[in-house]
Amino acid sequence: MDRRDFLGVSATAAAGMLVPTTASSAAGAPSARPTAPHLPTIRSGPSSVTRAPVAGMIGAIGAGNPVTAATGARILAKGGNAVDAAIAAAFMAYVVEPGSAGIGGHGRLTVHMAKTGRTVGIDHYIRAPRGATSQAIQAALARSGQDTSRIAHTGHLAVGVIGTVAGVCAAHERFATLPLPVLMEEAIAMAEIGPPIDRDTARAIAGRVDDLAAFPRARDHLLPGGRVPQVASESVRGKDGWERSGPRLDTSDLARTLKRISKEGAAAIYQGSIARAIDAEMRANDGVLSEADLAAYKPSIFDETLWTYRDHSYSTCSDIYGPQFLNVLERFDVGALDPNGVEYRHLVTEALALAFVDVMAHPADPADPGAPREGLASKRYAEVRARLIDMKRAIGSGRYPSGDPWPFETRARRSDIGMSSAPTGLPGTTSINVGDKDGNLVSFITSLGSSFGSLVLVPGTGMYLGNAMQWFDPRPGRANSVAPGRMPPYFAPLMTTYREGRPVGGVAASGGYRIATALFHTFLNCVDHRMGVQAALEHPRIHTQGETLYVDERIDDGVKDRLIALGHTVRAVEPHIALPTAVWRNRDGSWSAASDPIRGGTAAV
């Protein structure tokens, strides 16, 4: 392979494979091709669209970076399916999006295979190591002089059992059609020469400058010469894309690790010398992750529950926040409300807040037999929660009550425990959505937690370890207390949606707790307001966790004033509350891909 074929590729780099579309054509305008009658006619959204979606009959991909997207598109063009494309894109993301994702992180993946009709979830989120008891974590925090009421987002105690490579390789073993070395070829070649430092990577490094002082290995890697690297400049442009000149990140160690993964699969990370290197790094720095934890780790693979919302069904890779929120909204005629109006904004705010406080009060770890998952996802419970919503006034900022889902649970109630919340952390996530010509669909979120995770760089591997342990409460007796094998909270990282049993679209996002906000708004805009996917994704959003209501500054001042009058504590923020990507099926059977204009890339074939 000529490395110029992919070096710094932009969203236009598929060399004739991309088909730019207008918002109306991507939204399902009639064409000469046969139509798919199960898909509704789409109407344009009320907001301006600043990035044109792309559409293709072979497939399309929306991802967090243009190089990532173009890599997946080339796999589709080679005859790979959606899973092949998602895997190739993911490994490229681990090289070109190092602040957002990495092989030392975690994720969730949903696969719909059209031939079998199965929708399978691959949960490779972190689990707490065997040594992660409340007593052990608090003792370690005390020895280091840290606050014993929370786990810091930096350092070795923030590291849980990593799941990225195990999850991706599990998807490959079950659903891919091309060999792993073929899918990883571009990522390895990019890692060997080092990715150009783009704006997002430079920004991620700058955001961790203060933290890096305590981690010399990561500091020397990310701050060569003691400074934040300059952004590489755009250089020669041609039909195959563009290249960048200037600083590159040294990923030579990562290249060697990726080569081992391409040959050995997940065993390269979870067994042998790399696992021993991780164990040694932990032991030397009071961490609790061990070689035994890595050897025992298996992703959770399961047939997805398909929840329902009006005439659609959808899956969320075990998330309960999504069903809670949408079950409440289903009690209202959302489609009749102006998506730019105060009534819609107020209703969404109330539903978001009620669902959020419930999830925080009753963490719904799928592996926890004491979690009231059935009750939380019950439509009868949603009726109870929906009765609290008054369209003339807010329930109250900071006063949203958690509910009692146990009467809607078939199992015995466990004793009440205290509610606790978790810090949101810094952004360290990317997303990938792929649809292919056969109707297969993949939605994928992959993360390090915060930018560059815990800042623990394992010697000789090029691997930054994630920091998702920060989302546990180290104190015992809490709803979110740390314990061996437990999973910290997560919120709707991805959604795949279906109509009449056929996949319609996939949405995923980065942005901490705001991920759910981005997914829900995009979903509602497509399903209830019939927007095209790019318009749905770009439409101004709001976000709340039961306290402050954050509103996109583009929302009309009159709407903000009326929300305040209803009793909401409103704070205007810059656009792009989270950064979603999506693919959506058009009426002619093609796929459209969309991504947030501030970051991300799309490609189609």
Q: How many CA atoms lie within 13 A of 74 on its CB side?
A: 26
CA–CA separation, 243 and 8 (whole Å):
5
Rg of the chain on CA atoms, in Å: 23
390 Cβ neighbours under 8 A, 6+ residues apart:
none
Tell me how long the chain is: 605
Cβ–Cβ contacts within 10 Å for residue 478, how many? 17
End-to-end CA separation in angstroms for the chain: 20
- Amino acid identity, position 124: H
Cα distances (Å, whole numbers) of residue 342 to 346, 365, 563: 6, 35, 7
DSSP letter (8 states) at residue 251: -
Residue 274, SS3 per DSSP: helix
156 Cβ neighbours under 8 A, 6+ residues apart:
281, 282, 285, 286, 287, 288, 289, 454, 456
CA–CA separation, 570 and 14 (whole Å):
43
For residue 271, list its beta bridge partners. none
Cα distances (Å, whole numbers) of residue 603 to 16, 131, 375, 481, 595: 11, 44, 41, 42, 10
- Amino acid identity, position 5: D
CA–CA separation, 86 and 379 (whole Å):
33
Looking at 316, 429, 517, 581, which residue is catalytic? 429
CA–CA separation, 530 and 532 (whole Å):
7
Pairing of strands 570-573, 549-552: parallel
Number of H helices, E strands in the chain: 20, 21
DSSP letter (8 states) at residue 440: -
Output the 3-class SS for 338-364. Answer: CCCCHHHHHHHHHHHHHHHHHHHHCCC
Is 133 an active-site residue? no
Query: Which string of DSSP letters, residue by residue, matches 458-475?
Result: ETTTTEEEP-GGGGSB-S
Residue 412, SS3 per DSSP: coil
CA–CA separation, 535 and 539 (whole Å):
6
DSSP letter (8 states) at residue 67: H
Q: Which residues are catalytic?
A: 429
